Amino acid sequence: MNRRLNIRTVIIDDEPLARERIRSLLFNEQDINIVGEFSNGVDAYEYIHRKPVDLLFLDIQMPEMDGFSLMEMLGGRHIPHVIFVTAYDTFAVKAFDKNAIDYLLKPIDPDRFRRALERMRERFNPPNTKAYSERLRWMMQDLQTEKKYLQRIILKSAGAIRFLPVDDIDWIGSADNYVSLHCGKKTHMLRETLSALEQKLDPAQFLRIHRRMIVRISKVTGYKPDGNNAKMIRLANGTHLPVSRSYHKNILGRIRDKF
């Protein structure tokens, strides 16, 4: 017997026909209450952030914020049950299978859809909720290992969300659990450690020069001593940054061809 009579459900897909397909398949499911539909992850996040949601039908490939980025944004907050929807994401399918997380391939097969719903309902039993949350976290970790390097960084300020292309970054500094992203004359703060962010950046484009600094290699225009055997890097915008002794040899090997 299904004890859950009002499963608050949100459909997130940038394709109107895909949202309509899911809505039609849910039409006769009396315990499903569709409380929202969104064409992008940004609007969906703002809704989920403010209101309780039990179940997401979540497309993976979407512009601006994809399905995985939305899950990362939800982070430590209450994570709804998720049935992912994908057209071709091979890495994702492998991760879903490994961790027994529900997913649907487009075009959605009605029988497969019903099986996903039944498994979802079973997980609403209290003994299964914690195990499901753990599997979801493991899946996200698996996906992170396959994921490409960051192309943009999600910034949150005063409840608003914006996206910063990593190509705009000149250099990055750190202060405790925050990093400062320096982009021309603008600086953005992000709650992240420098070491954690470094792991997400393409090492062919970014270089650690100090325990508190990373530079974009293409922005480096000079490297020279600066007295007392200290070394300095000069960026295209005129900024001078100190180089730590422990990073000196690695830096020479990476930027020698630039000069």
Q: Decide the pairing of beta strands 231-235 and 186-191.
A: unpaired
- Residues in contact with 233: Cβ distance below 8 Å, sequence separation at least 6, in sequence order: 209, 215, 220, 222, 223, 240, 241, 242, 243, 251
Q: For 243-257, how does the pLDDT look when each residue is reduced to its tens digit (9 = 90+)?
A: 888 887 777 667 766
Does the structure show a pLDDT above 50 at 14? yes
How far apart are the C-alpha atoms of 51 and 39, rounded to whole Å?
18
pLDDT at 1: 41
Residue with tokens 């539909």: 37
Does the structure show a pLDDT above 80 at 186? yes
Could you tell me the two tokens for 157?
Answer: 């300020």
Is 151 contained in some domain?
Answer: no
Residue 142 shares a structural domain with residue 198? no
Is 155 contained in some domain?
Answer: no
Residue 16 shares a structural domain with residue 139? yes
Is 229 contained in some domain?
Answer: yes
Q: For 85-139, how does the pLDDT look when each residue is reduced to its tens digit (9 = 90+)?
A: 888 666 567 667 655 578 888 899 999 999 999 988 887 765 566 677 777 776 7
pLDDT at 2: 44
For residues 198 and 145, which has the higher predicted lDDT (pLDDT)? 198
Does the structure show a pLDDT above 70 at 209? yes
- Residues in contact with 110: Cβ distance below 8 Å, sequence separation at least 6, in sequence order: 25
Residue 120 shares a structural domain with residue 20? yes
CATH number at residue 234: 2.40.50.1020
Is 217 contained in some domain?
Answer: yes
pLDDT at 145: 56
Residue 122 shares a structural domain with residue 14? yes
Is 97 contained in some domain?
Answer: yes
pLDDT at 236: 92
Residue 64 shares a structural domain with residue 15? yes
Is 152 contained in some domain?
Answer: no
Is the Cα dihedral 169, 179, 145, 82 positive or negative? negative
Tally of structural domains, the chain:
2
Domain that holds residue 55: 7-146
Could you tell me the two tokens for 37?
Answer: 């539909």
Residue 75 shares a structural domain with residue 141? yes
Q: Determine which of 82-86, 193-197, 229-233 has the lowest per-residue pLDDT on average.
A: 229-233
Residue 90 shares a structural domain with residue 123? yes
Q: For 153-172, how does the pLDDT look when each residue is reduced to its tens digit (9 = 90+)?
A: 888 776 677 778 899 999 99
Q: What is the pTM of this model?
A: 0.61
